[in-house]
Structure 1
Amino acid sequence: MSQATFSLLLLLSILCLAAGTAESAGVRNRSSSIEYIKSSCSTTRYPTLCVQTLSPYANKIQPNNALQLAQAALSVSLSKSRSASSYVSKMSRLKSLKAREYQAMKDCVDNMSDSVDRLSRSIKEMGQTSQTTSQSDFSWHMSNVQTWVSAALTDDNTCVDGFSGHSMDGNVKTAITNRVTTVAQVTSNALALINRYASSH
Protein backbone atom coordinates (compact mmCIF):
# COMPACT_ATOMS: atom_id res chain seq x y z
CA MET A 1 0.00 0.00 0.00
CA SER A 2 1.43 3.35 -1.02
CA GLN A 3 1.90 6.18 1.48
CA ALA A 4 -0.70 8.28 -0.38
CA THR A 5 -3.30 5.48 -0.23
CA PHE A 6 -2.63 4.89 3.45
CA SER A 7 -2.98 8.62 4.19
CA LEU A 8 -6.27 8.76 2.29
CA LEU A 9 -7.70 5.76 4.17
CA LEU A 10 -6.59 7.27 7.47
CA LEU A 11 -8.26 10.56 6.61
CA LEU A 12 -11.49 8.80 5.63
CA SER A 13 -11.46 6.81 8.87
CA ILE A 14 -11.03 9.99 10.91
CA LEU A 15 -13.86 11.72 9.00
CA CYS A 16 -16.22 8.75 9.50
CA LEU A 17 -15.40 8.63 13.20
CA ALA A 18 -16.00 12.38 13.58
CA ALA A 19 -19.32 12.13 11.71
CA GLY A 20 -20.42 9.23 13.90
CA THR A 21 -19.50 11.13 17.05
CA ALA A 22 -21.40 14.22 15.88
CA GLU A 23 -24.41 12.09 14.97
CA SER A 24 -24.50 10.36 18.36
CA ALA A 25 -24.15 13.75 20.08
CA GLY A 26 -27.08 15.01 17.99
CA VAL A 27 -29.17 12.00 19.01
CA ARG A 28 -28.27 12.59 22.68
CA ASN A 29 -29.19 16.29 22.42
CA ARG A 30 -32.53 15.49 20.77
CA SER A 31 -33.24 12.88 23.44
CA SER A 32 -32.48 15.43 26.18
CA SER A 33 -34.72 17.98 24.46
CA ILE A 34 -37.58 15.47 24.22
CA GLU A 35 -37.24 14.72 27.94
CA TYR A 36 -37.26 18.45 28.70
CA ILE A 37 -40.40 18.89 26.56
CA LYS A 38 -42.13 15.99 28.35
CA SER A 39 -41.31 17.26 31.84
CA SER A 40 -42.41 20.82 30.93
CA CYS A 41 -45.60 19.62 29.27
CA SER A 42 -46.57 17.70 32.41
CA THR A 43 -47.42 21.07 34.01
CA THR A 44 -49.88 22.02 31.23
CA ARG A 45 -53.59 21.24 31.07
CA TYR A 46 -53.24 19.04 27.97
CA PRO A 47 -49.86 17.27 28.40
CA THR A 48 -50.30 14.60 25.70
CA LEU A 49 -51.23 17.20 23.07
CA CYS A 50 -48.37 19.38 24.32
CA VAL A 51 -45.74 16.65 23.79
CA GLN A 52 -47.26 15.65 20.46
CA THR A 53 -47.18 19.20 19.03
CA LEU A 54 -43.81 20.26 20.47
CA SER A 55 -41.74 17.13 19.81
CA PRO A 56 -41.21 18.10 16.13
CA TYR A 57 -39.42 21.22 17.46
CA ALA A 58 -36.98 19.20 19.60
CA ASN A 59 -33.99 20.10 17.41
CA LYS A 60 -34.70 23.81 17.98
CA ILE A 61 -35.24 23.55 21.74
CA GLN A 62 -32.21 23.26 23.99
CA PRO A 63 -32.77 21.44 27.30
CA ASN A 64 -33.79 23.87 30.07
CA ASN A 65 -34.34 26.73 27.62
CA ALA A 66 -37.76 27.98 28.71
CA LEU A 67 -37.78 30.79 26.14
CA GLN A 68 -37.26 28.47 23.15
CA LEU A 69 -39.95 26.13 24.49
CA ALA A 70 -42.46 28.97 24.96
CA GLN A 71 -41.67 30.34 21.48
CA ALA A 72 -42.22 26.91 19.92
CA ALA A 73 -45.54 26.55 21.77
CA LEU A 74 -46.62 29.97 20.47
CA SER A 75 -45.65 28.97 16.92
CA VAL A 76 -47.80 25.84 17.19
CA SER A 77 -50.71 27.91 18.50
CA LEU A 78 -50.41 30.51 15.73
CA SER A 79 -50.15 27.85 13.01
CA LYS A 80 -53.25 26.01 14.21
CA SER A 81 -55.11 29.28 14.75
CA ARG A 82 -54.37 30.40 11.17
CA SER A 83 -55.51 27.04 9.81
CA ALA A 84 -58.74 27.16 11.84
CA SER A 85 -59.37 30.79 10.83
CA SER A 86 -59.09 29.86 7.16
CA TYR A 87 -61.34 26.83 7.65
CA VAL A 88 -64.04 28.81 9.49
CA SER A 89 -63.93 31.51 6.83
CA LYS A 90 -64.56 28.92 4.08
CA MET A 91 -67.34 27.25 6.06
CA SER A 92 -69.08 30.59 6.60
CA ARG A 93 -69.69 30.78 2.84
CA LEU A 94 -71.73 27.57 2.73
CA LYS A 95 -75.18 28.18 1.21
CA SER A 96 -76.78 25.48 3.36
CA LEU A 97 -76.19 27.25 6.71
CA LYS A 98 -79.21 27.89 8.93
CA ALA A 99 -79.71 31.45 10.20
CA ARG A 100 -78.29 30.72 13.67
CA GLU A 101 -75.37 28.77 12.22
CA TYR A 102 -74.55 31.64 9.90
CA GLN A 103 -74.53 34.16 12.76
CA ALA A 104 -72.38 31.91 14.96
CA MET A 105 -70.03 31.32 12.04
CA LYS A 106 -69.83 35.05 11.28
CA ASP A 107 -68.92 35.77 14.92
CA CYS A 108 -66.40 32.92 14.89
CA VAL A 109 -64.67 34.36 11.81
CA ASP A 110 -64.13 37.59 13.76
CA ASN A 111 -62.98 35.70 16.87
CA MET A 112 -60.42 33.61 14.98
CA SER A 113 -59.13 36.63 13.07
CA ASP A 114 -58.56 38.40 16.40
CA SER A 115 -56.89 35.27 17.80
CA VAL A 116 -54.42 35.13 14.89
CA ASP A 117 -53.64 38.83 15.27
CA ARG A 118 -53.00 38.56 19.02
CA LEU A 119 -50.81 35.47 18.70
CA SER A 120 -48.78 37.12 15.92
CA ARG A 121 -48.16 40.14 18.14
CA SER A 122 -47.29 37.83 21.05
CA ILE A 123 -44.55 36.08 19.06
CA LYS A 124 -42.94 39.43 18.15
CA GLU A 125 -43.21 40.64 21.74
CA MET A 126 -41.75 37.37 23.03
CA GLY A 127 -38.65 38.01 20.96
CA GLN A 128 -38.18 41.31 22.81
CA THR A 129 -37.92 39.58 26.19
CA SER A 130 -34.49 38.11 25.42
CA GLN A 131 -33.13 41.54 24.52
CA THR A 132 -34.17 43.37 27.69
CA THR A 133 -31.57 44.54 30.16
CA SER A 134 -33.81 45.30 33.10
CA GLN A 135 -36.36 43.28 35.05
CA SER A 136 -38.98 46.01 34.61
CA ASP A 137 -38.64 45.90 30.79
CA PHE A 138 -38.83 42.10 30.83
CA SER A 139 -41.94 42.19 33.02
CA TRP A 140 -43.60 44.74 30.73
CA HIS A 141 -43.01 42.65 27.58
CA MET A 142 -44.12 39.47 29.36
CA SER A 143 -47.27 41.16 30.61
CA ASN A 144 -48.16 42.07 27.03
CA VAL A 145 -47.57 38.50 25.85
CA GLN A 146 -49.64 37.00 28.66
CA THR A 147 -52.48 39.47 28.06
CA TRP A 148 -52.63 38.81 24.30
CA VAL A 149 -52.38 35.02 24.58
CA SER A 150 -55.10 35.02 27.26
CA ALA A 151 -57.28 37.15 24.95
CA ALA A 152 -56.62 34.75 22.05
CA LEU A 153 -57.73 31.86 24.26
CA THR A 154 -60.91 33.78 25.12
CA ASP A 155 -61.53 34.34 21.39
CA ASP A 156 -61.28 30.57 20.76
CA ASN A 157 -63.67 29.73 23.59
CA THR A 158 -66.12 32.46 22.52
CA CYS A 159 -66.25 30.92 19.04
CA VAL A 160 -67.04 27.47 20.46
CA ASP A 161 -69.63 28.92 22.88
CA GLY A 162 -71.48 30.40 19.89
CA PHE A 163 -72.41 26.87 18.82
CA SER A 164 -73.73 25.74 22.23
CA GLY A 165 -77.23 24.31 22.58
CA HIS A 166 -78.90 21.31 20.96
CA SER A 167 -80.55 23.45 18.29
CA MET A 168 -77.06 23.93 16.78
CA ASP A 169 -76.23 20.21 16.71
CA GLY A 170 -75.07 18.89 13.34
CA ASN A 171 -72.06 18.51 11.05
CA VAL A 172 -71.26 22.22 11.01
CA LYS A 173 -71.11 22.48 14.81
CA THR A 174 -69.00 19.32 15.08
CA ALA A 175 -66.54 20.41 12.40
CA ILE A 176 -66.03 23.89 13.86
CA THR A 177 -65.94 23.00 17.54
CA ASN A 178 -63.51 20.11 17.04
CA ARG A 179 -61.04 22.28 15.16
CA VAL A 180 -61.30 25.38 17.33
CA THR A 181 -61.21 23.36 20.56
CA THR A 182 -57.81 22.00 19.49
CA VAL A 183 -56.63 25.58 18.91
CA ALA A 184 -57.86 26.54 22.39
CA GLN A 185 -56.04 23.56 23.93
CA VAL A 186 -52.65 24.31 22.31
CA THR A 187 -53.10 27.99 23.21
CA SER A 188 -53.81 27.03 26.82
CA ASN A 189 -50.63 24.94 26.80
CA ALA A 190 -48.66 27.83 25.30
CA LEU A 191 -49.91 30.17 28.01
CA ALA A 192 -48.84 27.71 30.72
CA LEU A 193 -45.33 27.48 29.24
CA ILE A 194 -45.17 31.27 28.84
CA ASN A 195 -46.09 31.68 32.51
CA ARG A 196 -43.40 29.13 33.38
CA TYR A 197 -40.81 31.13 31.44
CA ALA A 198 -41.94 34.38 33.08
CA SER A 199 -41.61 32.92 36.58
CA SER A 200 -38.15 31.48 35.85
CA HIS A 201 -36.66 34.84 34.91
Structure 2
Amino acid sequence: MARATLVISLAILSLLYVFSHHNAAAAAAVPSIGNSFIRASCGTTTYPNLCISSLSAYASTIRKSPRQLVTAALSVCVDRAESSKQHIQKLIKFNGLKRREYAALKDCLEVITEGVDRLSKSAQELKKMGRAGGPEYFWHMSNLQTWVSAALTDDNTCMDGFAGRAMDGRVKTSIRARMTNVAQVTSNALALCNQFAGKF
Protein backbone atom coordinates (compact mmCIF):
# COMPACT_ATOMS: atom_id res chain seq x y z
CA MET A 1 0.00 0.00 0.00
CA ALA A 2 2.77 2.41 0.97
CA ARG A 3 4.66 1.53 -2.19
CA ALA A 4 1.61 2.16 -4.36
CA THR A 5 1.11 5.54 -2.70
CA LEU A 6 4.75 6.42 -3.33
CA VAL A 7 4.48 5.43 -7.00
CA ILE A 8 1.35 7.55 -7.42
CA SER A 9 2.96 10.52 -5.67
CA LEU A 10 6.04 10.28 -7.88
CA ALA A 11 3.87 10.07 -10.98
CA ILE A 12 1.92 13.17 -9.92
CA LEU A 13 5.13 15.08 -9.17
CA SER A 14 6.53 14.09 -12.57
CA LEU A 15 3.40 15.31 -14.31
CA LEU A 16 3.46 18.58 -12.38
CA TYR A 17 7.12 19.11 -13.30
CA VAL A 18 6.47 18.45 -17.00
CA PHE A 19 3.40 20.68 -16.97
CA SER A 20 5.14 23.59 -15.20
CA HIS A 21 8.23 23.23 -17.41
CA HIS A 22 6.03 23.30 -20.52
CA ASN A 23 4.15 26.40 -19.27
CA ALA A 24 7.41 28.19 -18.46
CA ALA A 25 8.79 27.39 -21.91
CA ALA A 26 5.58 28.59 -23.56
CA ALA A 27 5.60 31.81 -21.52
CA ALA A 28 9.23 32.45 -22.45
CA ALA A 29 8.41 31.90 -26.13
CA VAL A 30 5.81 34.71 -26.20
CA PRO A 31 8.28 37.62 -25.77
CA SER A 32 10.67 35.84 -28.13
CA ILE A 33 7.97 35.75 -30.82
CA GLY A 34 7.18 39.40 -30.16
CA ASN A 35 10.84 40.44 -30.24
CA SER A 36 11.38 38.69 -33.57
CA PHE A 37 8.34 40.43 -35.04
CA ILE A 38 9.48 43.81 -33.64
CA ARG A 39 12.97 43.41 -35.11
CA ALA A 40 11.56 42.50 -38.53
CA SER A 41 9.06 45.37 -38.50
CA CYS A 42 11.55 47.96 -37.25
CA GLY A 43 13.84 47.15 -40.17
CA THR A 44 11.71 49.45 -42.35
CA THR A 45 12.03 52.47 -40.02
CA THR A 46 14.58 55.29 -40.16
CA TYR A 47 15.86 54.53 -36.65
CA PRO A 48 15.63 50.73 -36.31
CA ASN A 49 17.76 50.37 -33.16
CA LEU A 50 15.67 52.97 -31.32
CA CYS A 51 12.53 51.31 -32.66
CA ILE A 52 13.57 47.93 -31.26
CA SER A 53 14.72 49.27 -27.89
CA SER A 54 11.60 51.40 -27.37
CA LEU A 55 9.16 48.60 -28.25
CA SER A 56 10.86 45.53 -26.74
CA ALA A 57 9.09 46.06 -23.39
CA TYR A 58 5.77 45.49 -25.24
CA ALA A 59 6.87 42.23 -26.89
CA SER A 60 4.52 39.97 -24.93
CA THR A 61 1.54 42.19 -25.88
CA ILE A 62 2.58 42.75 -29.50
CA ARG A 63 3.43 39.12 -30.31
CA LYS A 64 2.82 39.11 -34.12
CA SER A 65 0.06 41.72 -34.28
CA PRO A 66 0.67 44.74 -36.59
CA ARG A 67 -2.13 46.61 -34.83
CA GLN A 68 -0.61 46.03 -31.39
CA LEU A 69 2.77 47.09 -32.79
CA VAL A 70 1.35 50.44 -33.95
CA THR A 71 -0.54 50.82 -30.65
CA ALA A 72 2.69 50.36 -28.70
CA ALA A 73 4.62 52.73 -30.99
CA LEU A 74 2.00 55.46 -30.49
CA SER A 75 2.03 54.86 -26.73
CA VAL A 76 5.81 55.41 -26.70
CA CYS A 77 5.34 58.65 -28.69
CA VAL A 78 2.68 59.99 -26.34
CA ASP A 79 4.75 59.16 -23.24
CA ARG A 80 7.91 60.80 -24.55
CA ALA A 81 6.13 63.85 -25.96
CA GLU A 82 4.28 64.35 -22.66
CA SER A 83 7.53 64.00 -20.72
CA SER A 84 9.16 66.62 -22.96
CA LYS A 85 6.19 68.93 -22.52
CA GLN A 86 6.53 68.72 -18.73
CA HIS A 87 10.28 69.36 -19.02
CA ILE A 88 9.66 72.52 -21.07
CA GLN A 89 7.06 73.72 -18.56
CA LYS A 90 9.70 73.47 -15.83
CA LEU A 91 12.37 75.23 -17.92
CA ILE A 92 10.10 78.19 -18.59
CA LYS A 93 9.94 78.88 -14.85
CA PHE A 94 13.72 79.15 -14.48
CA ASN A 95 15.18 82.56 -13.65
CA GLY A 96 17.98 83.85 -15.84
CA LEU A 97 16.62 82.70 -19.19
CA LYS A 98 17.59 84.84 -22.16
CA ARG A 99 14.68 86.63 -23.76
CA ARG A 100 15.05 84.59 -26.96
CA GLU A 101 15.29 81.35 -24.97
CA TYR A 102 12.06 82.18 -23.16
CA ALA A 103 10.29 83.02 -26.44
CA ALA A 104 11.56 79.81 -28.07
CA LEU A 105 10.45 77.75 -25.07
CA LYS A 106 6.97 79.31 -25.16
CA ASP A 107 6.65 78.52 -28.88
CA CYS A 108 7.99 75.02 -28.29
CA LEU A 109 5.51 74.40 -25.48
CA GLU A 110 2.67 75.42 -27.78
CA VAL A 111 3.67 73.07 -30.59
CA ILE A 112 4.56 70.13 -28.32
CA THR A 113 1.14 70.50 -26.63
CA GLU A 114 -0.44 70.25 -30.08
CA GLY A 115 1.79 67.28 -30.81
CA VAL A 116 0.72 65.44 -27.65
CA ASP A 117 -2.92 66.09 -28.58
CA ARG A 118 -2.44 64.79 -32.13
CA LEU A 119 -0.61 61.67 -30.98
CA SER A 120 -3.30 60.97 -28.38
CA LYS A 121 -5.97 61.38 -31.07
CA SER A 122 -4.03 58.99 -33.30
CA ALA A 123 -4.04 56.34 -30.58
CA GLN A 124 -7.80 56.81 -30.15
CA GLU A 125 -8.32 56.66 -33.92
CA LEU A 126 -6.55 53.30 -34.04
CA LYS A 127 -9.07 51.93 -31.53
CA LYS A 128 -11.98 53.13 -33.71
CA MET A 129 -10.72 51.50 -36.90
CA GLY A 130 -12.63 48.30 -36.53
CA ARG A 131 -11.87 45.36 -38.75
CA ALA A 132 -9.12 45.74 -41.33
CA GLY A 133 -10.56 46.42 -44.75
CA GLY A 134 -13.91 47.50 -43.30
CA PRO A 135 -15.80 50.50 -44.72
CA GLU A 136 -14.42 53.04 -42.24
CA TYR A 137 -10.99 51.47 -41.85
CA PHE A 138 -9.16 53.53 -44.49
CA TRP A 139 -10.78 56.78 -43.35
CA HIS A 140 -9.57 56.21 -39.77
CA MET A 141 -6.13 55.14 -41.03
CA SER A 142 -5.85 58.31 -43.11
CA ASN A 143 -6.66 60.42 -40.03
CA LEU A 144 -4.10 58.52 -37.98
CA GLN A 145 -1.34 58.99 -40.56
CA THR A 146 -2.17 62.69 -40.96
CA TRP A 147 -2.01 63.36 -37.21
CA VAL A 148 1.22 61.44 -36.65
CA SER A 149 2.80 63.26 -39.60
CA ALA A 150 1.63 66.61 -38.18
CA ALA A 151 3.05 65.70 -34.75
CA LEU A 152 6.41 65.00 -36.40
CA THR A 153 6.29 68.47 -37.99
CA ASP A 154 5.55 69.94 -34.53
CA ASP A 155 8.67 68.26 -33.12
CA ASN A 156 10.85 69.77 -35.84
CA THR A 157 9.19 73.19 -35.49
CA CYS A 158 10.11 73.22 -31.80
CA MET A 159 13.78 72.60 -32.58
CA ASP A 160 13.77 75.27 -35.32
CA GLY A 161 13.19 77.89 -32.63
CA PHE A 162 16.64 77.16 -31.19
CA ALA A 163 18.54 77.43 -34.48
CA GLY A 164 21.70 79.55 -34.62
CA ARG A 165 24.75 80.01 -32.41
CA ALA A 166 23.12 82.79 -30.43
CA MET A 167 20.87 80.17 -28.84
CA ASP A 168 23.73 77.82 -27.86
CA GLY A 169 23.76 76.76 -24.23
CA ARG A 170 22.31 74.28 -21.77
CA VAL A 171 18.68 75.09 -22.59
CA LYS A 172 19.19 74.45 -26.30
CA THR A 173 21.16 71.24 -25.61
CA SER A 174 18.46 69.95 -23.26
CA ILE A 175 15.60 70.74 -25.65
CA ARG A 176 17.41 69.40 -28.70
CA ALA A 177 18.19 66.07 -26.99
CA ARG A 178 14.61 65.53 -25.87
CA MET A 179 12.90 66.74 -29.03
CA THR A 180 15.25 64.77 -31.26
CA ASN A 181 14.25 61.62 -29.38
CA VAL A 182 10.54 62.48 -29.66
CA ALA A 183 10.94 63.20 -33.38
CA GLN A 184 12.75 59.90 -33.94
CA VAL A 185 10.18 57.71 -32.15
CA THR A 186 7.42 59.63 -33.97
CA SER A 187 9.16 59.04 -37.31
CA ASN A 188 9.36 55.34 -36.47
CA ALA A 189 5.69 55.25 -35.46
CA LEU A 190 4.71 56.89 -38.75
CA ALA A 191 6.74 54.30 -40.70
CA LEU A 192 5.01 51.48 -38.78
CA CYS A 193 1.58 53.12 -39.42
CA ASN A 194 2.38 53.28 -43.14
CA GLN A 195 3.54 49.68 -43.07
CA PHE A 196 0.33 48.65 -41.32
CA ALA A 197 -1.81 50.58 -43.82
CA GLY A 198 0.02 48.97 -46.73
CA LYS A 199 -1.02 45.49 -45.64
CA PHE A 200 -4.62 46.06 -46.73
Q: TM-score if structure 2 supplies the norm length?
A: 0.94
The alignment partner of 2:198 has SS state of helix
2:101 corresponds to:
101
Residues in 2 aligned to 1:177 and 1:198: alpha-carbon distance in whole angstroms: 31
Residues in 1 aligned to 2:145 and 2:3: alpha-carbon distance in whole angstroms: 68
Q: List per-residue Cα deviations over 1:125-145 (Å, max 9, x = no partner).
A: 10112x247544100000110
Residues in 2 aligned to 1:110 and 1:4: alpha-carbon distance in whole angstroms: 74
Alignment root-mean-square deviation, CA: 1.4
Residues in 2 aligned to 1:182 and 1:43: alpha-carbon distance in whole angstroms: 18
Deviation larger for 25-34 or 106-115: 25-34
Deviation larger for 188-197 or 13-22: 13-22
2:66 matches 1:66: yes
Residues in 2 aligned to 1:134 and 1:18: alpha-carbon distance in whole angstroms: 40
Task: Structure 2: state its 5+ residue gaps.
Answer: none
1:199 corresponds to:
198
Specify the code of the residue in structure 1 equivalent to 2:193: I
Pairs within 5 Å for 1:2-151: 2-63=3-64, 65-129=65-129, 131-132=130-131, 135-151=134-150
Specify the code of the residue in structure 2 equivalent to 1:50: C
Q: Does structure 1 conserve the Cα–Cα contact (< 8 Å) formed by 2:35 and 2:63?
A: no
Change (3 A) 1:127 1:178: same
User: How far 1:5 sits from its partner (Å)?
Assistant: 4.3
User: How far 1:3 sits from its partner (Å)?
Assistant: 3.7
Q: TM-score if structure 1 supplies the norm length?
A: 0.94
2:162 corresponds to:
163
